[in-house]
Structure 1
Amino acid sequence: MANIQQINGDYYGSKETLTEALPFAKIDQNYKAAINNLFGIADKELSIYDDAIFYYNEAIKEANNQVAKQSPLNNIAVIYIKKKNYDEAIKILESILKTKALDNFVKSKARVIDNLGFAYFKKGSNEKGLQLMNESLEIRTKSDDFYGSIESYLHLAEFYSKTNIKKSNEFAQKAYQTSTKLNSVDERLKALSFLISNDAGIQFGQKYIAINDSIISIRNNYKNKFAKIKYDSKKEKDENQKLRLQRAENLVALKDAEKERAIFIAAFVIFLLLLVYFKKQYDNRNRIKNIKTAYDTETRIAKDIHDGLANDVFHAITYTQTQPLANENSKENLLQKLDDIYSRVRGISRENSDIDTGPNYSNNLKEMLSTYNSPQTNVIINGVEKVNWDSVEHLKKVAIQRVLNELMVNMKKHSEANVASIKFNSDSNSLFIDYSDTGKGCEKSKIIKNGLQNMEIRILAVKGTITFDTEPNKGFKVKITMPK
């Protein structure tokens, strides 16, 4: 930006921009030489020669090779020419030409030769000065250095201004034409100033005034425009920085919100898991409690029934005292009463006695089922020994025996079956029991009325399933499945 400002003649503005550039030179030292060199050019154009020489020397100190030092050295020599210290200028320029590295930079070498020739000319060595300026112009022409050739034309125009006005005007005209093509305003004005001094025509004076007025107006407008661009750029940069900070703050806030949300979700999931765990524990406790309560209730009911049998026994005894037992009918009635009492006591005993769920469980289960075998009903038991009863939970074994006992009681009381079959099977995870009889069956809607609902409650309590399949005169089937 500072270089662009100098091209447009805004040297004070250029120095301000260069001041802004200085902090960046601390990051990369390679820019410091260029910054100091531009400081020197600005002060040279503003005729602040001592400051310009200071900055050029600073640029030389920062230069990292011999070639990089040549530009500020050449600029110092130009200032010495302006200060009429020609010997010092010649000394510097000749030392530059001795640098072999400069041979690879034709345009730079031509500039140094031209300045050296101009210094000799200003010192009074016209012949040597002319020779060097012509040599420089020839190099510039061959290398198509059109901008550099303007300086050669201007130096030669000044050289001939005292001795050959015609040639001076020719070189001034070439300088004017080339600078016009390149839109180099300052060089156009210099060329016009030679033509005016040489009385080349009034039209050149008019052109000079028009161009000079125009360039003053343009440069003033440019300064204002550039200042506005810098202001707008700084404003936009500040706003962008503000937006970046806002985005960063929003991002931090978003991350915090996401973190809080993640913590909340994690806490909620843990809460749900704990809720499920405690509910399961609660359900298990309730299930066990309900089963035990059911068993306790059944024992209490059985006890009440057992106590009620005392009346039946009393009635039987009374019957023997009041009825002639020699009579066959009386004798049959008594035997029937005693048989009923015996059956009831036996059933109560079975239903309410403690169930051994240890190693003898399968034998006890089979024995219990076998007691329902009679001349009227053949009870078939299959697979009870094949089940690994040690892998079945205690409460489930109790439930199985209770349910099967109820099934057998139901069969004995209602089915009038000739055959009752109980088949046991299992796999690694589940136990299967299939019951069937050849009894008279019943309608499914009457199952609850027959008291079989208690079986379903028992099986469901241990997380099993029980299904009933029956129709009138088609027997009765029950399928039980439960996890071990």
Structure 2
Amino acid sequence: MNAPVDAPEISRNTTYDKAIAFRNNKIIDSAFYYFNKSKEVFLQEKDSLGAGKCLVNMAIISTNQGDYFGGQELSLNAASFFEPQNRDHHVYIKSNLNNLGIATYSLKKYKQAIDFYKESLKYTADSSDVLVIKNNIANAYRSENNYEAAISLYQEILKVEKDSSNFSRVISNFAFTKWLNKSTYNPVEEFNRALSIRKKQNDLIGQNSSYAQLSEYYFRKKPDSALFYANKMYQTASRLQFPDDRLEALQKLVQLSKPEKTQHYFSIYTQLQDSLQTARSGAKNQFALIRYETEKHKADKLKLQKENAIRNIFIGGLTLVMIAASICTVLYNQRKKKEEKLKTQNLIKESELKTSKKVHDVVANGLYKLMSEMENGEQLNQNKLLDQMEALYEQSRDISYESKSAININFDEEIKQLLSAFATPNIKVLIFGNNDSVWDKINENSKYELKHILQELMVNMKKHSKASYVAIRFEKLPNEVKIYYSDNGVGMPKSAVFGNGLKNTGNRIKAIDGNINFGVGEDGGLKIQLSFPTI
């Protein structure tokens, strides 16, 4: 079990104090909710350390509840809020890296887990913590069958370990690993020594581990002894309320018990497994929903700010138009004698005014209508608003098709925002290689066309692919840029007919002398490769 990142403390952020209190009272869902809420408060106060502490606690909660991917993601987000050169941050960096090690180990990525554990040692000052982390590293070596490395590290720990509880843990792991490395080795004496220490200290967690190792050792040698220790493990795990260890004990009981008891244990195993899966799925969904609601609230707030800004711009523009109209009227009266001269100029402008009038009638009036409804308090639901905006868009296309907007100077950020906008709790969007150097010296026309190409691909994914993750990688070569798109969706059938969207995509890539290729991934899904010259 991953330990909390810090002790209770008094802060100006009352939601943080609530989160700590709920965490210490093991009310996990409320603790996660308030850590997420207090993170937003810290961000508003520009307190990066506070925000990082909240994220680490949320990461540890997710990992402890079996959401290992969620724990990894939150820990990786937390890392950017800490300063390695600041010693006051080291305790949080250590906890964050240790959580990454535990989550990665649980996902059976042992080499990566070892890297995270080793990195955490750089920020660990307490000698007992150092030994615990080294024990974790040795366990990871054992899990990837690197027994020699594990045994060497256990021996190193035992030379300096003084704490009896840690000593019993290491000596038990040491004996278990030596047996795995050499099946003729008898670890029972060391197992019993560790178990004796754990019983004296009433260390139920340690006893549970000892019973598991003894049952494993006797499984083929002495089934009766293995059954005895499996029962002990099941009873201890039940007292500790450790469902995973109960399942492990039940597996052994099913295999070792007499036929009349096997069905009984198997029934318990099935019920426990189902309830554990349901509980963990519920926790994952709840944590995801809490984070989603916070992000949605932020998005709604930004949307409202944007709508207010548009309204203010419109009102300001209307005021300027009225002022300009008044000035024109005065000038017209003053310069009445020059009507004949102006008549020729007005004829030239007449065609321009026709187009301007169409824009005004179709777009400006439509926008003004929407703004008026909002300003007058009429409740517009999202679907209705989107429908009306789409109608305006279709009308505007008749006036001027694909009028190009200005390209953002920070084009890598613009691309990131475009792609990330399609991420949902059910769709992960992974972006690699999108940095400023990729877009250096790329002309504005290529950027404009590429932005629309990527948008069309993401829209097509959202509508048709049923994908749960999408990966987009950008690669800058000396004379060209390559973009690799892949998802795990339903792919593209051979008989698929390209609609207007993908046809436009093909036309756009040709316009910048590029190429596009569609294919199928090794595990299904859709793969697309785009390339275009940089010169």
> What is the TM-score when the length of structure 2 is the normalising length?
0.42
Larger Rg: 1
> What is the TM-score when the length of structure 1 is the normalising length?
0.46
